[in-house]
Chain A
Amino acid sequence: MSQILVYVPDNSRHAGEILTLARSLGEVAAVAFNEEGAAAAAEYGATTLYRVNEPQVDSYFAAPKAEAITSIAQGQDWGGILLPGSDEGKAIVGRLAVALNRGFLTDISTLDSDGVARQDIFAGSRIVTSKVTDGFTIATVKAGAVNAEPAPSTPSEEAVDVSLSDDAKKVSIVETVDEPAGDRPGLTEADVIISGGRGVGSADDFALIEKVADSFGAAVGASRAATDSGFYPHKFQVGQTGTTVSPQLYVAAGISGAIQHRAGMQTSRVIVAVNKDSDAPIFSMADFGVVGNLFDVLPQLLEEVEKRK
């Protein structure tokens, strides 16, 4: 059985997804730089855990982890290498590919034992199957594409000592600022997302979107028109240049449904649209749509939710 090398950044849902995919392909060797990554490796069935001991790894941007993963990758013949479809995963995969002089795929949503992967391209409007021709797949896995299934294991641990090169220390992380997400779940973790668009009309009126979100224990999302207009912070933008989400329920209120927005939410299980324009493209993909003013429809929805609580 082939060995699949997986970089596990933390103990998020996405980490579980990548490990679950890797398990379907072979024996999993996980690389972790912290306790959370190590915990995810054990929760999702890794047989080997590489623990990288290098206290400086989080002092510099991307390159140290790429260097450590490259040195582990070079040690043995792998059946494949999987990384998260995050900024960090992309930074690492680019560096790894140049160092190993090997091809790679980004944003895959499936991968079979023949190395054939599925990629959603052009804002999700086309699906391609592709493969790396030298029979060894390096890939980043799209968040939300795989169902994370725990399979607890006790991986054998191997401590890895690395000494960082000068090149790896070129970009210092001077400061890390977490902008408070409040009590709401994060966009990629939420089962329900209530999103507002330009139709919400103002930053003040986003309070209504937040109220609906809170009644569902949901995350709040926004279209680019809404974030560009300053109605809601940019980090909540859903879409091609924002976050790609795949919740159980996605409610789009006052969002027209431009292709770049649809690209970020079209794999949601159930889609609901509220829009006063019956011709809005969002309705063509909605499981349930209300043609109407969101300031009438959402308060009434809230009332019904409260009644049932």
Chain B
Amino acid sequence: MDIVVLVKQVPDSGLERNLNADKRVDRDGSNNVMGELDEYAVEAALQLKEKHDGSVTVLTIGPDQATETIRKVLAMGVDKAVHVSDEAIAGSDALGTSSILAAALKRQDWDLVIAGAESTDSGMGVMPHMLSAHTGAAALTGARSLEVDGQTVTVEHQRANGYSKLEAQLPAIVSVWDTINTPRYPSLKGIMAAKRKPIESLSLEDLGVEAGTVGEAGATNEVLSVEARPERSAGTIVTDEGEGGRALAEFLVNEKFI
């Protein structure tokens, strides 16, 4: 089974994040990491390969520095990488991103595409369904479990108050939540092996995507302004010396919750 895993390099969600003067994500510096949910996608792909053989390819769109994330994914055990990088991609919206990813997916054979349920920076959670609309492959998103048996893929789609069991035939696109597995760490051997694994670099021209339809030129939306969320003003903090629960009850009575 041939699997493509989608990975996006994003600013670390545990650190200060902002937009830059061009109102794009500030990706400078060393604060970039692999999208958190993408690690679970990589792990899911590796587990399926261990069971069913075949190959795993990581596909990413991003500037040069995204190579760091590709290296990490290769070190986890993925076989090879496709890196789409082009100045003209900067400022792409979801529509533009989906057409580039779809063009890259059309260049190779695959049975399954696995992505994170949402990226950690924009959290839109739309890409797998957009790619399904572009490629015609089935989309089974928000998976908390994933199984492939012959040509049939089954997932448990996590919902707010339960789950739904979804089933489709390959080829399919699946996105996963962090409840699905525990991602492995790259081993030292994996890190050494990653250095020799192939990374194919592609431009928009290689993909046959018209530059004007993506990037800022093709973007269908615009950020007008950015501001920091106003800090909540700090309230009353008491230290419990035997009366803490009562003080809290009093506060809640005054606020009419009791």
A residues sitting closer than 8 Å to B (CB atoms) are 61-63, 66, 86-87, 90-95, 97-99, 101-107, 116, 120-134, 167, 170-179, 181, 186-188, 192, 216, 234-235, 240-241, 243, 248-249, 258-260, 266, 270-272, 274, 278, 283-293, 296-305, 308
Report if B249 contacts A (CB, 8 A).
yes
Q: List the 4 closest pairs (A to B, CB-CB), nearest first.
A: A300-B245, A103-B220, A292-B240, A304-B249
Contact A174 to B257, CB < 8 A, known contacts A234-B179, A303-B245: no
Report the Cα distance A92→B226, complex, angstroms. 28
Flag if B121 contacts A304 (CB, 8 Å).
no
Which A residues are CB-close (under 8 A) to B239?
Answer: 278, 290-292
Contact A278 to B226, CB < 8 A, known contacts A94-B130, A172-B166: no
A216 smallest CB distance to B (angstroms): 7
Contact A90 to B125, CB < 8 A, known contacts A288-B235, A291-B237, A292-B240: yes
Count of chain B residues near A, Cβ 8 A: 88
Tell me which residues from 148 to 181 in chain B have a Cβ below 8 Å from any Cβ of chain A. Answer: 154, 157-169, 172, 177-179
A-B contact pairs, 19 of them (CB 8 A): A61-B140, A101-B95, A126-B18, A131-B222, A133-B219, A174-B164, A216-B257, A260-B14, A266-B229, A271-B235, A284-B231, A286-B234, A290-B238, A290-B239, A290-B240, A291-B244, A296-B242, A301-B249, A308-B253
Flag if B238 contacts A132 (CB, 8 Å).
no
Which B residues are CB-close (under 8 A) to A124?
Answer: 229
Report if B57 contacts A (CB, 8 A).
no
Chain A residue at minimum C-beta to C-beta distance from B141: A91
Candidates A63, A174, A181, A272; contact of B248 at CB < 8 Å: A272
Flag if B248 contacts A274 (CB, 8 Å).
yes
B246 smallest CB distance to A (angstroms): 6
Which A residues are CB-close (under 8 A) to B122?
Answer: 106, 121
Contacts A95-B130, A177-B163, A288-B235 supplied; 16 other A-B pairs, CB < 8 Å: A62-B141, A87-B157, A104-B220, A116-B224, A127-B226, A128-B23, A128-B226, A132-B221, A174-B167, A176-B162, A271-B232, A272-B252, A274-B248, A286-B237, A297-B240, A304-B250
Candidates A102, A123, A134, A298; contact of B245 at CB < 8 Å: A298
B95 smallest CB distance to A (angstroms): 6
Which A residues are CB-close (under 8 A) to B120?
Answer: 240
Candidates A93, A260, A296; contact of B13 at CB < 8 Å: A260
Most-contacted residue by chain B among A243, A271, A285 (CB, 10 A): A285
Flag if B166 contacts A173 (CB, 8 Å).
yes
Flag if B161 contacts A126 (CB, 8 Å).
no
Which B residues are CB-close (under 8 A) to A86?
Answer: 160
A123 smallest CB distance to B (angstroms): 6
Stretch at the interface among B42-50, B66-74, B131-139, B183-191: B131-139
Report the Cα distance A131→B242, complex, angstroms. 53
Which A residues are CB-close (under 8 A) to B247?
Answer: 290
Which B residues are CB-close (under 8 A) to A304?
Answer: 245-246, 249-250, 258
B10 smallest CB distance to A (angstroms): 10
Contact A99 to B133, CB < 8 A, known contacts A170-B169, A188-B160, A304-B245: yes
Report the Cα distance A192→B257, complex, angstroms. 9
Which A residues are CB-close (under 8 A) to B125?
Answer: 87, 90, 106
Contact A300 to B246, CB < 8 A, known contacts A188-B160, A288-B251: yes
Which A residues are CB-close (under 8 A) to B23?
Answer: 128
Chain A residue at minimum C-beta to C-beta distance from B257: A249
